[in-house]
Amino acid sequence: MTEAEPSTKGAGPEGLASVLLEKGVLTSDWLPAYKAVPRDAFVPDRLWPGTAGGNRQGEVIDRNTDPALWWAKVYSDVPLTTQWDDGAHTGSGKGRIPTSSNSMPKMVFAMLEALSVERGDRVLEVGTGTGWNAALLAYRLGSDNVVTVEVDPAVAAEARRRFAATGLTPLSVIGDGARGHPQAAPYDRIIATCGISRVPYAWVEQTRIGGLIVAPWGPPYGGQAVARLKVGEDGVASGPFVMSSAFMRLRDQRDRFPATASFPGAADWPGDGQRRTTGLSPDDMGDWHHMFTLGVQVPDLFCRVEWRQGGAYRLWLLEMSGQSWATADYEHGRTAYEVVESGPRRLWSEAEAVMEWWRGQGEPRFEQYGLTVTPQAQRVWLGHPDNPVPVRGR
């Protein structure tokens, strides 16, 4: 037991296990690993707990000053941010961008279950983080069968220290996860614990025929889901999305968006933009599956939110070339919203067309989409690989 355990009634491994069992994500084949590899052994003294949605971080919790609260958060089903700004931020407040974490336990075990490992399988993990996921795999499959890649040397060093403390020795590699680790290929399974907007083909090349790749995928606009891809003899990986997700981006694929003020006319809004009204609520564009659908069909689109008093806001749609933009103003209770569109493209009209398509397809959710990756390209499909989702705009 750690010093925090006795002072926190109801919190601990057994309590979290009960929650995960009730949610159906901690299965009997993973329960021994869960019991043998405690989450608290893979969490640093300072952490920023998130929410069940995974998109907000709370204030810092320090094990040395509040061990009971630290223990309670570690054994809650929430993600725990453990690094900001690639380690440049060292204060107790939040940094600009979260860059490493201990993932939400529900997601950890749901993705491990989707990985469908079998005795003797060799697994490559991309994104070591705190090391908990790799340690769970190493306990179940044997350390010799697990390779984990981490781009940040300091994060990798901490994970190695935690591996040693628990007697597990997966091969820990410092490097660009987008390249995989060809020296130990082929792998039966590859799992990414970071978000991607394109599947590195190196992962497909390093997976044996019939093997699986499980990775959180999402377009720059937002909305992310876990793809479960099977590698075929033709060098093509294809499969469905199996659940929604929210992971930090692979460092190699972090988006670099142009500043709003750099767009013609944006700094002196509305400039020469064309005004109209729309019945499509800007709030709909924030739903996770709507963001996914819009981002898939308009892959060069991204958004920003300009908050106002009383929960009102202005949603900006912008495109990567830096030429076109649109805004839609949201106020609670309204059914018509003011839109301004500027530039050679009409971005809000493109969003309306995507949502009309989505409704016409029966309002599909994540699990009805899939992804196919070839040496030349990747495409999202609906229902079947032969039914690609249309791509618009560019």
Q: Would you please indicate which residues are annotated as catalytic (active-site) residues?
A: 103
Return the H-helix or E-strand segment holding 70: helix 67-74
Return the H-helix or E-strand segment holding 255: none
SS3 assignment, position 371: strand
Contact predicate 260/266, CB 8 Å: yes
DSSP 293-330: HHHHHSTTEEEEEEE-GGG-EEEEEEETTSS-EEEEEE
The CA distance from 394 to 388, in Å, is 17
The CA distance from 369 to 356, in Å, is 17
The CA distance from 211 to 205, in Å, is 11
Preceding omega of 67 cis (within 30 degrees of 0): no
E-state strands within the chain:
46-49, 61-62, 80-84, 98-102, 123-126, 146-150, 171-174, 187-192, 207-217, 224-231, 237-245, 274-278, 301-307, 313-319, 325-330, 337-342, 369-373, 378-382
* Residue 28: Cβ within 10 Å count: 7
Structure tokens at 12: 């601990």
Alpha carbon 81 to its chain centroid, in Å, reads 13
Question: Cα separations (Å) of 301 from 128, 293, 357, 370?
Answer: 30, 12, 17, 20
